[in-house]
Amino acid sequence: MTRISVAATIAGLDKVAGRLDRATKRIARDGAPIVEGLAKTKAPVGVPGNTTNQPGDLRRSIRVTGPREYGGAYGYRVAPWIDYGRQRELGGDIYPRSHPYLAFLWGKEPPDSGLPHLPDGRVLVSHVYQEGAFYLTRAADEARPLIWQLAVEYVTIAVRGGSGD
């Protein structure tokens, strides 16, 4: 007859639970920089004259913050810190904030559209619609299988009794 110690079984399961908790933290910690790196490669770069920011500011503003615990799950935030980051991700309407018009480069000569323009060739418009670039979404989608590989490795180590640190 095999004897099973309930107390020892519970203690063993508590150890596994602790190792799985630490593995979950490591998955989030090591996965976030993967998303960050991919997002930086996919972030659109502006054209001088069409933005008030320097080209590449969006890419340079993408950062990882965290960790945060969400009821036993752990996460990091990967996001741009520049004010138009969400606009470039999702797209949408753009209206002027501090001037009556937006100014955009339109080649050397503005089109024969009757739009008002500046001597440097920028056309003046009161509204534009910008398509979303979905750079963060695409980065997260591309990172998912890589993070899954981390998860399999870290959870396997935890279940087998290793620390994985």
> What are the b/e assignments for 23-42, b being 16+ CB within 10 Å?
bbebbbebbbebbbebbbeb
pLDDT digits (tens, 9 = 90+) for 101-152: 888 776 655 556 677 877 777 788 899 899 999 999 999 999 999 999 999 9
pLDDT digits (tens, 9 = 90+) for 3-23: 999 999 999 999 999 999 999
pTM: 0.83
SS3 labels along 101-152 = CEEEECCCCCCCCCCCECCCCEEEECCEEEECCCHHHHHHHHHHHHHHHHHH
